[in-house]
Amino acid sequence: RNVHKHVFSVLLALCRTPKGTWPWGKNKNFVMEMRWHEKFSIIFPDFTKGSGLLMSENKSNRYTSGAFHPFTHVYTQSDVMRVIEHARMRGIRVIPEFDSPGHTQSWGKGQPNLLTPCYKGDVPSGSFGPVDPTVDTTYKFMESLLKEVKFVFPDSYVHLGGDEVSFACWQSNPNVRTFMEKMGFGKDFTKLESFYMESIMNMTAALNRTSVVWQDVFDYHERIPQDTVLEIWKGETYQAELSRMTKAGHRVLLSAPWYINHISYGQDWRNSYAVQPQNFSGTEEQKKLVIGGEVAMWGEYVDATNLNPRLWPRACAAAERLWSDEEKTMNADLAFPRLEKFRCELLRRGIQAEPLFVGHCKHEYDGL
């Protein structure tokens, strides 16, 4: 889901992953697969948080200083366009995520005055926090970035993030506190984040693009355009969140139960298979607003060496749940032979998918 925690080769993206995935994403290179209305496969590369951020074709220091290496560990527009075209020919849509105002430390290395200076007492500490939502230059930069995103990514949706924003740096900064008083926000920093997110959602709408945002944006009671798609990532109470979001009339993507970077001993794919995305309190009209789901593989501990084994065939369980008639596919024991056969097909094609349990593949002894 994040392609900048570790940098993946475009060759891996094009040739070594099954249909519907792409090993690029946030501060945690993660991969995902999901369903949309008419059963499109969609992937969400996240180009924020750590290094390896999507780069402009401009090779100046401004664009490369946030990368692990300015030449070998960047994704150029040409790289991205290759992946988009490869996906398009296979009926797959690519929707980027540029997550802000948090998860933007690498942006600040190439864009002066974008991040909020943190303070220790009355003096700057030398560290930086989220994007500074109090200055005009921030919004000029974001408008320029979103215009470039529109040029590179043809899809009508763009993920704007909005999750996990720490308010500590904003609280420490006297200029931010003055701005809060001027705007009448008091000491409620969720209102400051709302101010920022509403601004960039409006920019996105002005570019004729539809926003996707994380659930935090909804939870902070922000004024969200009605066509915005909300994505749920917090796992404890996702059914209640589904009820609230759909009652407000928003379309929703569910990711919370499918964070498969969380690994455990045994057949943990069965947990993914047992999820019922529309099993929450609400009307039938509300349940129609749950338009898909996402399998997330966050990449702090994943790179090209272990991406495929960790992802496959575990992601297949969620894929079948999202693509297939729930009433006919609720028995994990019946699904096991199908997933086992698919895993063998992946191995036969050279994709190192991990075993589901004790067993073997017939092709292993072909020709003996």
How confident is the model at residue 367, as a pLDDT?
Answer: 67
β-pair type (251-254, 229-232): parallel
Least confident of 4-13, 94-103, 173-182: 4-13
Least confident of 30-44, 49-63, 159-173, 251-265: 30-44
Q: Does residue 22 lie within any of the structural domains?
A: yes
Q: Does residue 359 lie within any of the structural domains?
A: no
Segment 81-108, tens digit of pLDDT = 999 999 999 999 999 999 999 999 989 9
How confident is the model at residue 10, as a pLDDT?
Answer: 55
DSSP SS3 for 342: helix
Burial annotation 320-349 (CB, 10 A radius, 16+ → b, else e): bbbeeeeeeeeebeebbeebbebbbebbee
Segment 271-320, tens digit of pLDDT = 999 999 999 999 999 999 999 999 998 888 888 888 999 999 999 999 99
309: left (phi over 0), alpha (psi -120 to 50) or beta: alpha
Work out the pLDDT band at 6, boundaries 50, 70, 90.
low
DSSP calls for 194-227 = HHHHHHHHHHHHHTT-EEEEEHHHHHTT----TT
Q: Does residue 356 lie within any of the structural domains?
A: no
Determine the structural domain holding residue 172 and report its residue range.
Answer: 10-330
Q: Does residue 221 lie within any of the structural domains?
A: yes
Calculate the alpha carbon distances from 212 to 168, 289, 324 in Å: 26, 14, 24
Average pLDDT of the chain, as a whole number: 85
Segment 222-255, tens digit of pLDDT = 789 999 999 999 988 899 999 999 999 999 999 9
In this predicted model, which residue has the larger pLDDT, 157 or 35? Answer: 157
Segment 156-180 shows an average pLDDT of 97
Q: Does residue 365 lie within any of the structural domains?
A: no
Work out the pLDDT band at 41, boundaries 50, 70, 90.
low
Q: How many domains does the chain have?
A: 1
Q: Does residue 32 lie within any of the structural domains?
A: yes
Segment 6-20 shows an average pLDDT of 49
Please give the positions annotated as active site: 164
Q: Does residue 354 lie within any of the structural domains?
A: no
Segment 130-145, tens digit of pLDDT = 999 999 999 999 999 9
CATH number of the CATH domain containing 107: 3.20.20.80
Asked if residue 197 has pLDDT above 90, the reply is: yes
In this predicted model, which residue has the larger pLDDT, 114 or 35? Answer: 114
Segment 339-343 shows an average pLDDT of 95
Q: Does residue 345 lie within any of the structural domains?
A: no
Residues 6+ apart with CB under 8 A from 138: 114, 131, 132, 196
Asked if residue 9 has pLDDT above 80, the reply is: no
